[in-house]
Amino acid sequence: MYPFDNTIRNFFFKKQLSNFNKFTIDKESAEYNGCSFFIDDKKIIYRDSKITPKKIGQFVTFWKRDSEGITTPFHEEDTFDFYIINAQSENQLGQFIFPKDILIKKGIISTNQKDGKRGFRVYPEWDMPTSKQAITTQIWQADFFYQHK
């Protein structure tokens, strides 16, 4: 477990807003309620995931604009600490709290050697994927998912 996880979980589960600051809305990610903020000194990028009609799991965007205005994946040199994704389905609610280093390891964030992704699927524990790749993804994501009970 990451040492900062407890503070983040407390923020979401107990609504401890005293550590919450520097809130900024990401207008280009408004469809996903995109924003960024700090909890203590940790920068968080936040999005809501979306249920899509044809695939199990939920989709979320994860990109920025480069100096020429082109969408590009986040890079390991970008300054943030966690990517939090809110997942919801009917009466189910939870958050994926991904540390930056995990997203680098999983190829979601770009490095100088490999391009990352502009979006990806998340699989909350209430989803039951059937494809091998989706099941594998759900397994590694489970370590970073916190469901409200």
pLDDT in tens, 64-109: 988 899 999 999 999 999 999 999 998 899 999 999 999 999 999 9
CATH code: domain of residue 57: 3.40.1350.140
Residue 8 is predicted with a pLDDT of 54
Residue 13: domain span: 5-147
Residue 142: CB atoms within 10 A of its CB come to 12
Separation CA 71–CA 149 (nearest Å): 36
- Looking at the 3D structure of the chain, how many domains does it have? 1
DSSP reduced 3-state for 50: strand
Residue 119 forms beta bridges with which residues? 61
Residue 83: CB atoms within 10 A of its CB come to 23
84 contact partners, CB below 8 Å, separation of at least 6 = 8, 12, 44, 45, 46, 47, 95, 96, 97, 98
- Could you tell me the pLDDT band of residue 149, with boundaries at 50, 70 and 90? confident
- Residues of the chain with pLDDT > 90: what percent? 64
